[in-house]
Structure formats: C-alpha cells, structure tokens
Amino acid sequence: MIQTCFYRDKDRISGFKITGHADSGEYGRDIVCAAVSVLSINTVNSIEQITKIMPLVDSDDENGGFLSVNVPESSDADSNRMAQVLLEALEIGLRDISKSYKEYLVMN
C-alpha cells in the first residue's frame, strides 16, 4: 500500500512524503503506482522548472517506494504562489486516486 503525507507550515504546503508500493498489478502494469509516480515526479520537475525553486528530494531510486520532498520558501512571492498551486494540484490528484483505489493508496 502507498501512504502519502503532506507537510504544512502555517498556511503553506512545505513538502510531502510518499512511501510503500501499491501492488495493484504486476511490475510494469501497476496503474496506481504509475499514476502516483507520474503525479509526484511531474510536481517536483514543474516546481523546479516553472518556479526556479529547488526542492530538497530524498528517494530510494534502487528499490523505489520512497520519496520525500521539502519545498523551501523563495524570496519571490510569485514563485511561492506557483509552487503552492502545483503542490495543491498534486494533493488533489492523489486524493482522487485514493478515492478510487483506497485499498492501494492512503492519504495521511
């Protein structure tokens, strides 16, 4: 099962952590894993490329099943707002997946 947790600092999402494996299908055909991976990796890449904020990323590239991201505040208010929109979009996407596949993804 995949577990997700969003970290908040006052009124902002400061990061997130995703752990575990969905095991909803065989390797290469696990649609829950694929969806969570695409959303989370795209969010990190988008924050970097669109806002120029460099998230602090910790992952287990060898075994998978672990991604921890901390998004530092920028001195640029517009960059911070854009990063928040991207993080909120990730949270919405993961929540939607968890509604349809609650036995494979839990939002903490």
Q: What average pLDDT does the segment 62-83 reach?
A: 95
Whose structure tokens read 């006052």?
10
What pLDDT, on a 0 to 100 scale, did the predictor assign at position 105? 97
The one-character DSSP state at 22 is -
Q: For the segment 85-105, what is each residue's pLDDT rounded down to a tens digit? A: 999 999 999 999 999 999 999
What pLDDT, on a 0 to 100 scale, did the predictor assign at position 101? 96
Instruction: Evaluate if residue 27 carries a pLDDT over 90.
Output: no
CA distance 3 to 19: 5
Looking at the annotation, which residues are catalytic?
Answer: 21, 33
pTM of the model: 0.93
